[in-house]
Chain A
Amino acid sequence: MRIDARNHGYTELNRVIRASSDEKFQLVNVLGQRYIGAGLSGKEIMIEGTPGNALGAYLNGSKIIVHGNAQDAIGDTMNDGAIIVHGNCGDTTGYAMRSGEIYVQGNAGYRVGIHMKSYQDLYPIIVIGGKVGDFLGEYQAGGIIIVLGIGVEGCPVGSFCGTGMHGGEMFIRSETAPVGLPVQVCCEKATDEEKQSIRHYVERFVKHFGNDVDDLLSGTFFKLTPNSASPYKQLYVNN
């Protein structure tokens, strides 16, 4: 179904998408409508334009493709599905996402992958093509965040990366390690074997946006993991 979103609010759009028996939707002229696809299962939405905040919040197994930029909080608490952005996206991308995949061709804002977690076979993936702002992977508890830094000079992540991280992995393609990492995060150059562990996701990124997988993987990657020897732990005494 093709929907011209011009002059239509988000509730209307979501209602039409939910009510329709169609599986595929093309939304054109999207301009800032929030919450598109909130909690949605089993559909595919192709968006032309700029969707508003919280795109695909609580997404539960749908695919959303954005031809344009996305704004803040895409994939908030997403449980399953995929969000593919042919452009840039804003802050808190993938907040507390538990499973599914987010691919962003360009750059992303602050707090990408904050609170991302994994559980059993649920394992979330975020791949950002360009660079990201501060607090990447804050409170990360599971899943994989990959920042490819394509066309970026210097390290493609901002400050305070991995603050509060206590699970999962981050891979950052960069010649230099992120600066100012907290002592609770381990940062080492990824081995070839480790790089191959993310090959599948880089391949998908390339499938969506083009580029060369081997070329991307031949670069230096830094792998960030929580430092189990130095966890975030308040020393308490029962009172």
Chain B
Amino acid sequence: MPVNYMNPLFEVVRDHDKCIKCRVCERQCANEVHKYDAELDRMVSDEMTCVDCQRCVCLCPVNALKIRPNENRFRDNANWNQQIMTEIYKQADSGGVLLSAMGTPKEYPVYWDKILLNASQVTNPPIDPLREPMETKTFLGKKSQAISYDENGKAHYEKTPYLELDVPIMFSAMSFGSISKNAHESLARAATELGTYYNTGEGGLHEDFYKYGKNTICQVASGRFGVFKGYLDAGAAIEIKMGQGAKPGIGGHLPGMKINDEISKTRMIPKGTDAISPAPHHDIYSIEDLRQLVFSLKEATNWEKPVIVKIAAVHNVAAIASGVARSGADIIAIDGFRGGTGAAPTRIRDNVGIPIELALASVDSRLRDEGIRNDVSIVVGGSIRSAADVVKAVALGADACYIATAALLSMGCHLCRSCNTGKCNWGIATQRADLVKRLNPEVASKRLVNLVTAWNHEIKEMMGGMGINSIEALRGNRLMLRGVGLNPKELEILGIQHAGE
């Protein structure tokens, strides 16, 4: 018998005194961890396939289950740690490239947690958001540079298409294919109710969701899946995907086996064929080429929609963003390297790109220095985890934030990071009909609305504390930020002072 080098990652701890053998766990687990053994008359587990998604724990009616890390350890070694050794065994077994999902779990610095916010004391008093008007409405797009007045005193200025958000938060791109139809519907309904936008990702727009068009951002990527005139016209804005934070320089590949009837229809490709979105757009080799795509999309939609260009946060992000700002794009979306993904090579996800905080600060500074900051709005994503992260991002210079992982969490995701297996027990990152139906769009959209509404209250509270009653007055207001435990270079890039200064 061949030696099995792989240990279960988790232990399923079942309290047999509590277990009533109702077999809910067995029915709920697409990974087939739980099984009823008639001979023993008890539930047994195959821990090998457990991904710690917590579905069984949450649904066990008697709280008889716990999933915990396997206590079995390889011999301690700070350099050759458990994770690295396991990966080597996996690759030695298979010869395969390691594939992971969601954002990197590695311990890279989270600069949001090293930035503190200001509050007013004595002078410039705080504002009570429950009693005073607080404005979080956000407009995304090119800002007019000059206003002129005619003889009647009427103002004239250049009007370009823009997005209007009631909250400075949008749902980031996740394609139908990477997530389920019910997950898409939940995002669409929530965006509509919240007065914000969700994003189709590069997988086209399902025919049932055209009705949410005015709260939809339609993405165009290198594979052009599902892109046609009706799709471009359907949304409120068009986003050109140049890169993704979790996998800069890497394209997308939805394997043929995941292209079922509905995905085939939405992506407009035959059932069962691979959907390959290469990393590069093969018609874009320069800012001028990007400009051509931006303008062709504007021309095709009669100059009625703002165009977003989404880039991954990489080393030269400031120079790249400066180019994008000159390409005619109305909005730049920057995706930090801690951002999520349905599937990415582990080594790319864990090693490529830069943190969004540093990317944002340097892009905002660069565009200001070049006098083109008002030509574009900046939207940032890539691990925005709370209202505090949003407030810090806005103060660093962002116009709005993209959230995706947080949105998935609110729908029930437990970050088991197994989206690539297509067996999401929460009905989110799967196309299996029996799993998809577990996600009720009615409930999930309500949870999304709750989350963003709560964040918006918190944003207002933090702004009020600073004596600021409009998100416009917070934007780029780095005086409201102080660093803790950051070195001078980090402070310089972030453009903030250290706490105590």
Residues of A participating in the B interface, judged by any CB pair closer than 8 Å: 10-11, 14-15, 18, 34-35, 38-39, 41, 53-54, 57-58, 60, 72-73, 76-77, 79, 91-92, 95-96, 98, 111, 114-115, 117-120, 122, 135, 138-139, 141-142, 164, 166-167, 231-232, 234-239
Q: In the complex, which of the residues A111, A122, A167 contacts B282, with contact meaning CB atoms closer than 8 Å? A: A111
Question: Measured between alpha carbons, how far is A141 from B232 in the docked complex, in Å?
Answer: 22
Find out whether the CB atom of A235 lies under 8 angstroms from the CB atom of B299.
Answer: no
Whether A139 pairs with B268 at a CB distance below 8 angstroms is no
Q: Which residues of B contact A10 (CB under 8 A)?
A: 299
Q: Is the C-beta of B229 less than 8 angstroms from some C-beta in chain A?
A: yes
- B269–A141 CB distance below 8 A: yes
CA distance A95 to B284 in the complex (A): 12
Contacts of A76 in B (CB 8 A): 283, 296
| B91 closest partner in A (C-beta) | A237
Cβ contacts under 8 Å, A14 to chain B: 299
> How far is the CB of B274 from the nearest CB of chain A, in Å?
6
Question: Chain A nearest CB: distance from B500 CB in Å?
Answer: 43
Whether the Cβ atoms of B270 and A118 lie closer than 8 Å is yes
For A232, what are the chain B residues with a Cβ–Cβ distance below 8 Å?
274, 276
B209 at the interface (CB under 8 A from A): no
Binds A, one of B96-104, B241-249, B438-446: B96-104
Partner of A239, one of B100, B227, B264, B295: B100
Q: Which of A34, A60, A118, A135 touches B228 (beta carbons < 8 Å)?
A: A60
- Are A238 and B224 CB-contacts (below 8 A) given A57-B300, A76-B296? no
Q: Do A54 and B278 form a contact, CB below 8 Å, given A92-B283, A167-B273, A238-B418?
A: no
A235 near B296: Cβ-Cβ < 8 Å: no
Complex: chain B residue closest to A138, CB-CB: B282
Q: Are A119 and B90 in contact (CB under 8 A)?
A: no
Across-interface contacts of B274 in A (CB, < 8 A) = 141, 166, 231-232
Instruction: Give the residue of A95, A142, A164, A236 whose beta carbon is less than 8 angstroms from that of B283.
Output: A95
Contacts of A54 in B (CB 8 A): 292, 296
> Bound complex: CA of A54 vs CA of B99, how far in Å?
37
| Chain B residues closer than 8 Å to A138, beta-carbon distance | 282
B302 interface residue per 8 A CB criterion: yes
A72 to chain B, nearest CB (A): 7
Cβ contact within 8 Å between B292 and A235: no
Is B420's beta carbon under 8 Å from chain A? yes
Which of A34, A98, A164, A238 lies in contact with B99, CB distance below 8 A?
A: A238
Q: Scan B214-248; emit 1 where CB is below 8 A from any A CB, else 0.
A: 00000000111001111010000000000000000
Residues of B within 8 A of A92 (CB): 282-283
B binding-site residues for A, Cβ under 8 Å: 87, 90-91, 93-100, 222-224, 227-230, 232, 253, 264, 268-270, 273-274, 276, 278, 282-283, 292, 295-296, 299-303, 345-346, 418, 420-421
Please give me the 4 A-B residue pairs with the lowest Cβ-Cβ distance, nearest first: A237-B96, A39-B300, A96-B224, A239-B98
User: CB-CB < 8 A to B276: which residues of A?
Assistant: 139, 141, 164, 166, 232
| Neighbouring B residues of A237 by C-beta, 8 Å | 90-91, 93-94, 96-99
Determine the distance from Cα of A10 to Cα of B276 in the docked complex, in whole angstroms.
33
On chain B, the residues within 8 Å of A38 by CB distance are 296, 299-300
A95 to chain B, nearest CB (A): 6
A119 touches B283 (CB 8 A): no
Cα-based distance from A92 to B253 in the complex (angstroms): 22
Contact A238 B420 (CB under 8 A): yes
Write 29 A-B pairs (CB below 8 A) sorted by A numbering: A15-B302, A34-B292, A34-B299, A39-B232, A39-B300, A53-B292, A57-B299, A58-B228, A76-B283, A77-B224, A77-B228, A79-B228, A92-B283, A96-B224, A115-B224, A141-B273, A166-B273, A167-B273, A231-B274, A234-B253, A235-B95, A236-B97, A236-B345, A237-B90, A237-B98, A237-B99, A238-B418, A239-B98, A239-B99
Contacts of A234 in B (CB 8 A): 97, 253
Taking a contact as CB atoms under 8 Å apart, the answer to whether B270 and A57 are in contact is no
Q: Please indicate the chain A residues that have their CB under 8 angstroms from the CB of B418 in the complex.
A: 238
Task: Point out the residues of chain A lying under 8 angstroms from B292, CB to CB.
Answer: 34, 53-54, 73
Least distance between A185 CB and chain B CB atoms (Å): 15
Asked if residues A117 and B268 are in contact (CB atoms below 8 Å), the reply is yes
Q: Which residue of B has the minimal Cβ distance to A237?
A: B96
Docked Cα-Cα span, A72 to B288, in Å, equals 13
Closest to B255 in A: A233
In the complex, what residue of chain A is closest to B281 when comparing beta carbons?
Answer: A95
Tell me the smallest distance from the CB of A147 to a CB of chain B, in Å: 19
Report A90 CB to chain B, min CB distance, Å. Answer: 11
Distance, CA A139 to CA B280, complexed state (A):
12
A60, B299: Cα distance in complex, Å: 14
Nearest A residue to B83 by beta-carbon distance? A239
- With A164-B276, A237-B91 known as contacts, the answer to whether A58 contacts B232 (CB < 8 A) is yes
Residue with the greatest number of chain A CB neighbours at <10 A, chosen from B223, B282, B420:
B282
With contacts A141-B273, A166-B276 known, is A77 near B295, CB below 8 A?
no
- Contact: A119 with B296, CB < 8 Å? no
Task: State A234–B94 Cα separation when bound (angstroms).
Answer: 12
Contact indicator A35/B273 (Cβ below 8 Å): no
Q: Which of A18, A96, A142 has the most CB of B within 10 A?
A: A96
Complex-state Cα separation, A119 to B228, whole angstroms: 13
B328 to chain A, nearest CB (A): 12
How many angstroms from the CA of A57 to the CA of B418 in the assembled complex? 38
Known contacts A139-B278, A141-B273, A142-B270: does B227 contact A96 (CB below 8 Å)? yes
CA distance A135 to B230 in the complex (A): 30
